[in-house]
Amino acid sequence: MKALSRPIHLLRVRRASAANAVFAAAPRRRFSAATSRASSGGPLPPAPRPVEDRDLAELVRADLHPLSLADLVKHGRPPLSEEALLSSANFALSLVPVRLAHRIQALRNLPYIVVSNPNINRIYNNYLHSLSTLLPWYDPHHPTITDLDSEIRFTSALAELVNTHADTIPILARGFLECRRYISPPDVTRFLEEHLRMRIGTRLIAEQHIALHDSSQPHSDPSARSRMRTEHPSYIGVIDTSLRPATTIELCADWVADICELRYGIRPRVVIDGEPDATFAFVPMHLEYIITELLKNAFRATIENGTASEPIVVTIAPEPASPDPPAFAAPGGNHPGSAAPPSSHRHSIIPLDDNASGVTIRIRDRGGGISPTALPSIWSYSFTTFSADDELPGSSSGDGLAAISSAGAGASSLAGLGYGLPLSRAYAEYFGGGIAVQSLYGWGTDVYLRLKGVGSIAS
Ligand SMILES: Nc1ncnc2c1ncn2[C@@H]1O[C@H](COP(=O)(O)OP(=O)(O)O)[C@@H](O)[C@H]1O
Ligand SMILES: [Mg+2]
């Protein structure tokens, strides 16, 4: 049997695609250099400062600055000058602690018995820990990152923060499942809607600075700097200004097919049509997350339905920039077979350009559609029809606990958390797009993913 580690690794490295791969590999090198300098007598990172109630009260009083894309790209194309890099670091520092404090407060507002659950408590402690590592730098009145040494140390703290919170979703999922007697599914969905949308923005701020840091390196090897520029000329931090969705789809389809082949001995096929050469400006990590989840659903449905010999057809339709873009709606609108309830846009990013060109991607499978009883629940966090007890994805309805326990909730499971659709929609809506599902029960499902590009970014 083929080992699964290869494609996962491959996807992880390439998944993150260029900018993220840069971010995954290089900071370690840079930061270990920084650490060894520190251990040989150089400046040490400031010691974490325990978070006190008055810190929290002060941070929560500070308004949540709405995140705008213009802020994320205002430092220009990398490599950044030292001044721009410091400004980017201070900008991230001005936002992240406030956002962490709001999350800590939201977690504290959950019923006590829920916050006491070991999994939820672990997440709560991760937030406290991350905030304590940033507090020593935080001063709402003055920029405190004023030289490259502190910038390196701060970026290292941000990278640690991103890592600490990498597994939040399966842990929260397990925690809320264990607490289901004490908190209702709508309350869980309400909490997660806000929490996970905020998390998208916080990670974006941190990853943007880390990627800018990494692709700038004004303080290091000039050859690395020019290599970075020629290898990834279309990147500004984590944003790819000419992202080709067809490439992402091929990559993700290959990976999801590997999982299916390994687990079920079946390798569903994907056919891409429409305009595969379309490109737009977007965050590759977000597109990869969404496409992987939508393809997992489509592949699973065709396997379960015994129609895996029918290809999944992915149509790419670029959408021209328009002064008056149509509101997003799936064909069928409020037809009983469709499901596209409104959701909150409060936590999305302020766009650069409201009329940026985007792309609509339709994923069409012959997997039998979604039953009318399941359809109203598909956008709820934790709703799944997957049962890990079955060798093949089964039809017995349940929650994801079995899947989490047996599959380890790792990236290699095909389904089971019930977070794929709602979280994909949160990612799509973050930049003003959306997802609509059109089920033709007994036949198959069309998923329409509309993504608004982030707009044209001046050099
Ligand atoms: N393409 C599809 N065909 C049939 N059913 C689907 C499809 N996409 C989603 N579903 C249904 O929606 C449910 C929720 O999907 P999702 O949020 O991705 O969670 P999960 O895949 O972990 O179950 C699935 O369990 C499945 O019942
Ligand atoms: Mg899924």
- Determine whether the shortest distance from the Cβ of 192 to ligand 1 is under 6 A: no
Question: What order of strands is seen across the sheet that includes strand 239-243?
Answer: 235-236, 239-243, 280-282
Q: Output the residue whose Cα is nearest ligand 1's atom 24.
A: 384
Co-location of 297 and 217 in the same domain: no
Q: Is there a contact between 279 and 243 (Cβ–Cβ < 8 Å)?
A: yes
Residue 264: give the domain boundaries.
239-452
Co-location of 228 and 243 in the same domain: no
- Determine whether the shortest distance from the Cβ of 382 to ligand 1 is under 6 A: no
Q: Cis ω on the peptide bond leading into residue 7 (within 30° of 0)?
A: no
Which residues contact residue 258 at a Cβ distance below 8 angstroms, ignoring those fewer than 6 apart?
2, 4, 7
Co-location of 306 and 221 in the same domain: no
Q: Is there a contact between 156 and 92 (Cβ–Cβ < 8 Å)?
A: no
Co-location of 94 and 215 in the same domain: yes
Minimum mean pLDDT among 69-73, 167-171, 189-193: which range?
69-73
Co-location of 298 and 183 in the same domain: no
Tens digits of residue pLDDT in 357-390 = 899 999 999 999 999 999 999 999 989 999 865 5
Co-location of 220 and 245 in the same domain: no
pLDDT band, residue 340 (cuts 50/70/90): very low
Q: Is there a contact between 252 and 226 (Cβ–Cβ < 8 Å)?
A: no
- Determine whether the shortest distance from the Cβ of 339 to ligand 1 is under 6 A: no
Co-location of 163 and 221 in the same domain: yes
Tens digits of residue pLDDT in 183-240 = 998 999 999 999 999 999 999 999 999 999 998 875 556 665 566 556 678 899 999 9
Q: What pLDDT does residue 354 have?
A: 73
Co-location of 190 and 259 in the same domain: no
Which residues contact residue 445 at a Cβ distance below 8 angstroms, ignoring those fewer than 6 apart?
297, 298, 301, 364, 365, 367, 369, 370, 437, 438, 439
Q: What pLDDT does residue 399 have?
A: 47
Co-location of 225 and 275 in the same domain: no
Query: Considering the domain boundaries, does residue 68 fall inside one?
Result: yes
Co-location of 367 and 336 in the same domain: yes
Compute the distance from residue 416 Cα to the ligand 2 centre, in Å: 7
The domain spanning residue 33 has which CATH number? 1.20.140.20
pLDDT band, residue 173 (cuts 50/70/90): very high
Co-location of 318 and 288 in the same domain: yes
Q: What is the mean pLDDT of residues 11-36?
A: 34
Q: How many domains does the chain have?
A: 2
Co-location of 120 and 70 in the same domain: yes
Query: Considering the domain boundaries, does residue 288 fall inside one?
Result: yes
Query: Considering the domain boundaries, does residue 457 fall inside one?
Result: no
Q: What is the mean pLDDT of residues 113-118?
A: 97
Q: What is the mean pLDDT of residues 5-18?
A: 33
The pTM score is 0.85
pLDDT at 293 over 80: yes
Domain boundary among 233, 255, 286: 233
The three-state secondary structure class of 213 is: helix
